[in-house]
Amino acid sequence: MPIEIRIANAADIPAMLGVINAAFAIETFLEGQRADAARIEEMMEKGKFFVVLDNGEIVASIYVEPRGERSLLAMLAVHPKKQGSPLAFRLARAAEAHCREQGCKFADITVLSQRTELPPVYERFGYRLTGTKEFESTQQLKDGVQCHTLLLTKEL
């Protein structure tokens, strides 16, 4: 069965949580897990998640929220066993295409400064660092950790 990219639905939430929390487990500088069912459901009310299925199994996801001329892409997660494959690139392209269809001219992604490996990845996807802001997350930083949020933008 080939790779499939589609819009997620509520029945996908348990599998998505497995992928998201496994992918973000590397963020040991934060307390707790990246997502729970209530947060995903709340996000689905404002925007959409796209998922990648490999042989029927959800292995990646991304959140997309059009906001006028801009769109927010967030929580790009690829299961650790699939990281290093082109899935993140393909999924980001599908999300960007959706944003263009919604009339968006720019896509914004935020990255926590502790994740130094991510900006170069997004730069290869065509994003450019456009600013920084104070730390912003639903999770708390562990004691003593310094972190801020990086804003990357791509013209669609």
pLDDT digits (tens, 9 = 90+) for 115-133: 999 999 999 999 999 999 9
Joined tokens for residue 129: 């660092």
Q: Are 60 and 78 in contact (CB under 8 A)?
A: yes
Distance CA 108, CA 121 (A): 14
Radius of gyration of the chain (CA): 15
pLDDT for 1 equals 62
Q: Could you give the dihedral angle defined by the CA atoms of residues 93, 136, 153 and 40, in that order, rounded to the nearest 10 degrees?
A: 20
CATH superfamily name and code, 4-155: Gcn5-related N-acetyltransferase (GNAT) (3.40.630.30)
In this prediction the pTM is: 0.90
pLDDT for 16 equals 97
pLDDT digits (tens, 9 = 90+) for 86-122: 899 999 999 999 999 999 999 999 999 999 999 999 9
pLDDT digits (tens, 9 = 90+) for 6-38: 999 999 999 999 999 999 888 877 777 778 899
Residues comprising the chain, all counted: 156
Distance CA 17, CA 65 (A): 19
SS (H, E, C) the chain: CCCEEEECCHHHHHHHHHHHHHHHHHCCCECCCCCCHHHHHHHHHHCEEEEEEECCEEEEEEEEEEECCEEEEEEEEECHHHCCCCHHHHHHHHHHHHHHHCCCCEEEEEEECCCCCHHHHHHHCCCEEEEEEECCCCCCECCCCCCEEEEEEEEC
